[in-house]
């Protein structure tokens, strides 16, 4: 019989795709974002999917949760993100982990898994991270051994640089140790030294997709500044075809460039008086070295939602619900399924 999962802040199901690949079964999924729950329900037809906030669901009745072996979720992270305002005291989302902890308290799973951005461990000298660990270790009705690790998805075969904190709790009667999966990939320069595989190419992950997927990527409508704002070109937004991608983000305006776009070069820099830079496009297309059959993208374009989903390692049949902005939001907020699958292999060893 498959181990049962309650998936909180479930989003488009990134964690669940990874868990189901290892034979787990999600019995309940909660998310406040209607487009996400519509996406989840379409892909996980046997799961009870509810569109609700965690606190509202916790208050709905005495114990609304089914029995489950695992509770997992990536509670919203904007207040801890390097790209956010980073002022958690004034952001109510900072305390959503308490709703997650309350669910753990009620379900008493054998294992719980929480995911958050890397900035959580650094913000205010790690005080918000310590606060969460203290709740999980000392304030639940059942005792858990709690383990955490900062992981980079690229180290596990995901063609993307994506650093996240993973927190795993193991119920005392189940075990006293959790060993995170060892890296399978590394920087190309370290391959000979480590014997690991080189980081995966994001160009190879998306080369099978159409070069001009009309309607699947963001374009600035009728803007005199052109398709890319001053903010967008204030940094290099393009990685080479043979490299991992930048982190896939949730805002479709800030999604980075397809590697078949022309190279960017630094036009000017004034970091001494702030962080301002100006990058410009060149006439060089270095992707032809790796995929000569792939067209030159002129004009350059951002990655499409389908390409972002492939870089996140969603399965090929995955198609999110909602409008274009909502599709990107779901994909950018997800845990890469391939990364989650590696973690769930270790969970299976405990169970």
Kindly list the catalytic residues.
77
SS (H, E, C) 160-227: ECCEEEEEEEEECCCCCCCCCCCCCEECHHHHHHHCCEECCCHHHHHCCCCCCCCCCCCCCCCCCCCC
284 neighbors 263 (Cβ within 8 angstroms):
yes
Eight-state DSSP code of residue 233? G
71 neighbors 86 (Cβ within 8 angstroms):
no
Considering only CA atoms, which of 179, 157, 160, 158 is closest in space to residue 168?
Answer: 179
**CA 190-196-198 angle, 5° bins:** 65
**CA 105-109-111 angle, 5° bins:** 115
Can you read off the two tokens belonging to residue 172? 């005392």
Torsion of the alpha carbons at 56, 37, 312 and 162, rounded to the nearest 10: -10
CA atoms of 149 and 300, how far apart (whole Å): 37
CA atoms of 87 and 78, how far apart (whole Å): 9
């Amino acid at each position: 019989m498959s181990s049962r999962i309650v998936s909180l802040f479930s989003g488009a199901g990134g964690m669940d795709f990874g868990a189901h690949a290892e034979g787990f079964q999600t019995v309940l999924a909660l998310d406040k974002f209607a487009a996400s729950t519509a996406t989840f329900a379409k892909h996980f037809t046997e799961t009870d999917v509810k569109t609700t906030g965690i606190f509202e669901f916790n208050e709905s009745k005495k114990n609304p949760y089914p029995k489950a072996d695992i509770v997992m979720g990536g509670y919203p992270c904007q207040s801890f993100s390097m790209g956010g305002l980073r002022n958690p005291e004034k952001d109510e989302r900072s305390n959503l982990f308490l709703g997650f902890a309350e669910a753990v308290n009620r379900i008493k799973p054998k294992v719980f898994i929480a995911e958050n951005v890397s900035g959580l461990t650094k913000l205010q000298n790690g005080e918000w991270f310590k606060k969460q660990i203290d709740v999980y270790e000392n304030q639940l009705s059942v005792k858990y051994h709690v383990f955490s690790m900062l992981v980079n998805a690229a180290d596990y075969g995901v063609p993307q640089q994506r650093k996240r904190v993973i927190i795993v709790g193991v119920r005392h009667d189940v075990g006293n140790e959790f060993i995170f999966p060892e890296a399978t990939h590394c920087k190309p320069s370290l391959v000979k030294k480590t014997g690991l595989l080189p980081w995966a190419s994001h160009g190879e992950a998306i080369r099978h997709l159409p070069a001009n997927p009309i309607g699947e990527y963001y374009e600035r409508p009728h803007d005199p500044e052109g398709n890319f704002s001053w903010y967008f070109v204030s940094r290099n937004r393009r990685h080479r075809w043979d490299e991992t991608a930048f982190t896939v983000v949730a805002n479709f305006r800030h999604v980075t460039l397809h590697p078949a776009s022309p190279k960017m070069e630094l036009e000017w820099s004034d970091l001494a008086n702030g962080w301002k830079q100006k990058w410009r496009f060149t006439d060089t297309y270095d992707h032809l070295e790796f995929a000569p059959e792939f067209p030159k993208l002129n004009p350059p374009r951002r990655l499409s939602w389908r390409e972002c989903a492939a870089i996140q390692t969603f399965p090929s049949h995955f198609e999110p619900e909602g409008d274009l902005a909502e599709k990107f939001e779901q994909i950018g907020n997800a845990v890469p399924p391939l990364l989650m699958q590696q973690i769930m292999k270790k969970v299976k060893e405990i169970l």
